């Protein structure tokens, strides 16, 4: 069982860590063009696409959960039909994004409110890279499907392909052809489509899992309603997640630039841990969904227990890493002494993040695999409400302490609610399976 978990978790961790490299590469390239406005433009442009695409992460999550169950049932025909439904929905959303690209851009820039010069270059970056929407959303669908059939290596290959194409093409266009922001956008755009073509090639390698005769029934009304119901819950959950992330940044900004900068650095500690633990969440999604679909109660419970052993182990490792090396990591991220000293006061809260949050990540993976997305939404609603109530109204003299305690409570409450549901509902449901 441990080997099966690691076969999915390790490639997923590599994929997760590789994703931020695209943004870092773009930032590093424009960072050597001699003007900070280019860095600002890429930062704003990246935020624009994060805001746009993050909402549609359900294309990966919902597809992965449904596929893993069909895979466990041995129902290859339904697995293929799930992919077709997902690709159709992803294509429709991409078309809508392209049709409404200008209103989306204007609305997002009105919220971010960058300087006039940064906005000009951000618009240039956006107007080129928005044509990657079909590639990004279809890759979401195919990544979920690959994970559902336990081909996590395929997801890793597509992510690595993006980095392999993006960096050299962007360097060529920027430094050889002098294209500046346009070159960075075109480099990323070419990498997105190269990755999509690779995904379709890998899909053809799995042609034994499907035949075109399986097309019959892909528009089944019941299955489509189920597909949309699951994805709607994930969509609403993502809105809550975005609200907390935005609220954390906004409430910190109101306390001054030093607090904003320090919290941004400290949040990197959370993101680093999330990239690692999400790999095990993906394993829970694929294996949990498979055993649930196969009605294999023994292995379902076993994979859950093994995942939590791995999760707890990595949480303790990161507690030690942040506890003993937190200040060193801060100095790697910045050389601003005032920000480092200020951020150091809040390191104890960051040290607690791995232990408090790992159960939320792992339960998320398991619940996606068994498509209990309503319970995921429920846990997120409770946790989001707690965060905003505590962060805003907590009786403490230090507003940033309230912010971090609220964030820790938000992470812990997500895991706690799902644990209660798992014990009271999921285990009973599994026990009742024939």
- What is the rounded distance in angstroms from the CA atom of residue 88 to the CA atom of residue 81? 11
pLDDT at 79: 79
Token reading at 320:
């030690």
pLDDT at 33: 59
- What is the rounded distance in angstroms from the CA atom of residue 127 to the CA atom of residue 131? 8
Whether 319 contacts 351, CB under 8 Å:
yes
Domain range summary for the chain, segments of one domain joined by +:
18-219, 232-434
pLDDT at 284: 86
Q: Which residues contact 306 (CB under 8 A, 6 or more apart)?
A: 1, 2, 5
Output the pTM of the full model.
0.79
- What is the rounded distance in angstroms from the CA atom of residue 156 to the CA atom of residue 19? 10
Burial class from Cβ neighbours inside 10 Å (0-12, 13-18, 19+) for residue 346 reads: buried
- What is the rounded distance in angstroms from the CA atom of residue 257 to the CA atom of residue 261? 6
pLDDT at 303: 87
- What is the rounded distance in angstroms from the CA atom of residue 339 to the CA atom of residue 252? 14
pLDDT at 220: 61
Label residue 256 left, alpha or beta by phi (over 0 means left) and psi (-120 to 50 means alpha): left
Digit-by-digit pLDDT tens for the chain (434 residues) are 767 777 777 787 777 776 666 666 666 666 555 555 666 666 667 777 777 787 888 788 778 878 887 877 777 777 788 888 889 889 999 999 999 988 888 887 777 666 677 777 778 888 888 899 999 899 988 888 888 888 888 888 888 888 888 888 888 887 777 677 788 888 889 999 999 999 988 888 776 655 555 566 556 656 667 777 777 888 898 889 888 887 887 777 777 767 777 777 788 788 888 888 988 888 888 888 788 777 878 888 888 899 999 999 999 999 999 989 888 877 776 666 777 788 888 899 999 999 999 999 999 988 888 888 889 999 999 999 999 998 888 776 777 888 899 999 999 999 999 999 988 887 777 766 55
pLDDT at 412: 95
């Amino acid at each position: 069982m441990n080997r099966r978990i690691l076969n999915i978790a390790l490639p997923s961790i590599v994929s997760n860590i590789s994703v931020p490299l695209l943004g870092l590469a773009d930032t590093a390239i424009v960072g050597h063009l001699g003007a900070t406005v280019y860095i600002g433009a890429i930062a704003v442009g990246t935020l624009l696409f994060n805001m746009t695409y993050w909402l549609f992460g359900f294309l990966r999550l919902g597809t992965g959960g449904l596929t893993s169950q069909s895979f466990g049932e041995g129902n290859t025909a339904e697995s293929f039909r799930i992919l077709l439904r997902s690709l159709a929905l992803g294509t429709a959303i991409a078309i809508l994004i392209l049709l409404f690209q200008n209103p989306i851009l204007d609305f997002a820039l009105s919220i971010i409110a960058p300087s006039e010069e940064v906005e000009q270059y951000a618009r240039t970056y956006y107007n080129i890279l928005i044509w990657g929407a079909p590639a990004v959303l279809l890759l979401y669908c195919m990544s979920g499907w690959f994970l559902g059939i336990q081909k996590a290596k395929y997801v890793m290959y597509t992510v690595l392909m993006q980095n392999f194409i993006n960096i050299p093409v962007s360097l060529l266009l920027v430094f050889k052809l002098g294209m500046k922001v346009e070159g960075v956008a075109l480099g990323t755009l070419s990498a997105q489509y190269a990755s999509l073509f690779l995904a379709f090639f890998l899909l053809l390698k799995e042609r034994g899992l499907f035949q075109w005769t399986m097309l019959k029934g892909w528009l089944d009304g019941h299955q489509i309603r189920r597909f949309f119901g699951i994805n709607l819950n994930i969509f609403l959950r993502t809105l809550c997640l975005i609200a907390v992330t935005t609220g954390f940044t906004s409430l910190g900004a109101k306390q001054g630039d030093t607090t904003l900068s320090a919290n941004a650095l400290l949040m990197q500690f959370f993101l680093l841990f999330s990239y690692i633990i999400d790999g095990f969440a993906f394993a829970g999604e694929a294996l949990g969904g498979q055993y649930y679909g196969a009605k294999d109660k023994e292995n379902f419970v076993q994979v859950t227990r093994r995942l939590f052993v791995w999760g707890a182990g990595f949480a303790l490792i990161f507690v030690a890493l942040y506890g003993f090396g937190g200040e060193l990591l801060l100095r790697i991220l910045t050389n601003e002494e005032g920000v480092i000293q200020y951020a150091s006061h809040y390191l104890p809260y960051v040290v607690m993040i791995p232990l408090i949050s790992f159960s939320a990540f792992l339960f998320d993976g398991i619940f996606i695999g068994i498509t209990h997305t309503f319970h995921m939404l429920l846990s997120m609603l409770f946790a989001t409400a707690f965060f905003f109530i505590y962060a805003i109204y907590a009786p403490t003299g230090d507003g940033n302490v309230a912010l971090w305690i609220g964030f820790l409570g938000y992470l812990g409450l997500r895991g706690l609610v799902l644990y209660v549901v798992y014990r009271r509902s999921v285990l009973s449901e599994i026990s009742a399976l024939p």
